[in-house]
Structure 1
Amino acid sequence: MTRERSLLLDHLEAERNHVLAAVDGLDEANLTRTIALSGWSIAQLLNHLTYDDEIFWGNAIIGGDQEAIGLIQDGWKVPVTSGDEAVELYRHWARRADAVLAEVDLDAPPRWWPSEEVFPFPPFADARQCLFRLLLETATHAGHLDMAREGIDGHQHLVVN
């Protein structure tokens, strides 16, 4: 594994762990209740991370995985069956993306790109750009989960005084 790949994957793992730490120990009521004024719950945010990031970027676009391609949908609109299931589904698809990311040629173009009707943006030049997008999305939403968690029980992920 190259130093670059190792560094990127280490950062992605740290942000995924940040996401999971933000939801760790929350009960079903706190995972599924509306948190934001826009109406999302923590479980819905986890669905977004699962479907729009791990499945979409990590498995479908970078990996060309046919099962992942078949599951593409707006993660914000995926019905929440339970908070625990949302957490487990996120873990499952992150592990699958890890297997893809460990082997993919970062300089190669993505193995798949959605139609313009699904994703109206030009294809990224290489898998590296897709990995950066996955990392950026994960880090951004880890911060959102920090704010949600602090509002629930006062827990703060990292506070530097």
Structure 2
Amino acid sequence: MTNERTQTLAMLAETRQTLLITLRGLTDEQAGARSTVSELTLGGILRHLISGERNWTRVLLTGDGTLPEGMLDEDQYLMPADRSLAELRAEYLAVAKMTDTAFSTVDLDARVLLPQTPWSPPEPQFWSARQILLHLFRETAQHAGHADLIRESLDGASTTAQLGTPE
């Protein structure tokens, strides 16, 4: 029988994999293409999730309320013109490994001081390490769903259709 940490990290890993399946076979141009009135693209989703995991892991590890550099960058939702989808995928896998390592030993009940953001209440806010991990899982699942819809509107492929295709 596995414990809560192992199960939650496994669920996060499975959700990451679902997102990466959705990106299989895409060109860089497709990864940067908008398919709705939204500015959101598949490359932008991946870049946002890279930023999110990196920044929330920093929040966890520092625990001092410091706002990680780039956490509020609005361009994190855009496919960078100077990066390929393959580069973003490799960075995502590296950041995921960093996240998994950080959460593999931390006390999930540890209280972490959150950074002050423009939308934060004025008083200090704390989350447990567990809440941060669950937030990462929720963000990844939400954006994996977005990615599936964007992919289907780009070329008719869906995550389910991609399951049998090689990476």
TM-score (norm 1): 0.82
Structure-2 change in CA distance of 1:62 and 1:41 (3 Å): same
- Paired residue for 2:18? 18
The alignment partner of 1:72 has SS state of coil
Alpha-carbon distance in 1 for matches of 2:78, 2:144: 19
Query: Post-superposition shift, 1:100?
Result: 0.3
- Paired residue for 1:113? 114
Matched, 1:148 2:150: yes
Aligned-CA RMSD value: 2.6
1:12-32 superposed Cα distances (whole Å, 9 cap, x missing partner): 000000111111221111111
Structure-2 change in CA distance of 1:33 and 1:125 (3 Å): closer
1:3-47 superposed Cα distances (whole Å, 9 cap, x missing partner): 100110110000000111111221111111223312222111111
1:70 maps to a residue whose letter is E
Structure 2 residue ranges without an equivalent (≥5): 162-167
| Aligned pair partner of 2:92 in 85, 90, 93 | 90
TM-score (norm 2): 0.79
Structure-2 change in CA distance of 1:73 and 1:81 (3 Å): farther
2:77 maps to a residue whose letter is W
1:74-94 superposed Cα distances (whole Å, 9 cap, x missing partner): 222684422332222222211
Structure-2 change in CA distance of 1:132 and 1:99 (3 Å): same
Alpha-carbon distance in 1 for matches of 2:117, 2:68: 14
Query: Post-superposition shift, 1:54?
Result: 0.5
Structure-2 change in CA distance of 1:155 and 1:116 (3 Å): closer
Matched, 1:33 2:36: no
More helix by share: 1
Aligned length: 154
The alignment partner of 1:63 has SS state of helix
- Paired residue for 1:133? 135
Alpha-carbon distance in 1 for matches of 2:25, 2:79: 23
- Paired residue for 2:104? 102
Alpha-carbon distance in 1 for matches of 2:48, 2:149: 17
The alignment partner of 1:125 has SS state of strand
1:61 maps to a residue whose letter is V
Structure-2 change in CA distance of 1:64 and 1:146 (3 Å): same
Q: Give identity over the alignment, percent.
A: 31
- Paired residue for 2:6? 6
The alignment partner of 2:126 has SS state of coil
